[in-house]
Amino acid sequence: MKKLLIFFLIFTTICNAQNIKYIEELILDREYEEADSILKKIILDENKINSEITFLFGKNSYFLKQYNQSVNWLNKYLELKGEAGIFSDETIKFLELSNTKLLLESERDLENVYIELFSYNYVSCREDRKICPICDGSSVMIIETEVQKIYKTCPFSDNKGYLTCDEYNLFLRGELKPKLN
């Protein structure tokens, strides 16, 4: 009985590792819809979801342009693993990308720039400030319309293109509001 249980645990671990590898390959091959259907099936079939699946679902959602979903799943990964997880750095990069896309999509209505999310993680910054992911440190936002490009001072960063650590964490949660000046 004990051997059967050990065999089952090893078999399950191998299957999970193969699933994760396969999903990673699908994402690399830009087969996002296929990866999405497999991830959804895993989520529906499993009682517990491992952190790797939350990361892959968030990353794949970004490529499917489902930015809200991406932010939620990536925040869930950070909630589970923090900065110590093997995908933490990549998770933060995809959070920045997803939040930037969300902000740019809502740029038409400046009063609704921030998006309410359900995570309250706090990423501690190695330095006191971070380069603003919205303007990439340039302190200027470029909004392209069908006719022209509009250049605006970034309403989120300071005049040198930086965010404080607290502002950066608000950005990761989708709660960063534009400054009034």
The domain segmentation of the chain, as residue ranges, is: 2-172
Angstrom distance (rounded) from CA 65 to CA 62: 5
Lowest-pLDDT range, 11-15, 92-96, 165-169? 11-15
Q: Give me 111's structure tokens.
A: 């009063």
Lowest-pLDDT range, 22-26, 42-46, 93-97? 42-46
Angstrom distance (rounded) from CA 4 to CA 159: 64
Q: Does residue 114 register a pLDDT over 80?
A: no
CA 43 to chain centre: 18
Q: With bands split at pLDDT 50, 70 and 90, how would you rate the model's confidence at 63?
A: very high
Burial group, residue 6, by CB count within 10 angstroms (0-12, 13-18, 19+): exposed
What pTM, to 2 d.p., does this model score? 0.55
Q: Which percentage of the chain shows pLDDT scores above 70?
A: 79
> At a CB cut-off of 8 Å and minimum separation 6, what does 121 contact?
75, 78, 79, 169, 172, 173
Angstrom distance (rounded) from CA 18 to CA 94: 23
When the pLDDT of each residue in the chain is averaged and rounded to a whole number, the result is 79
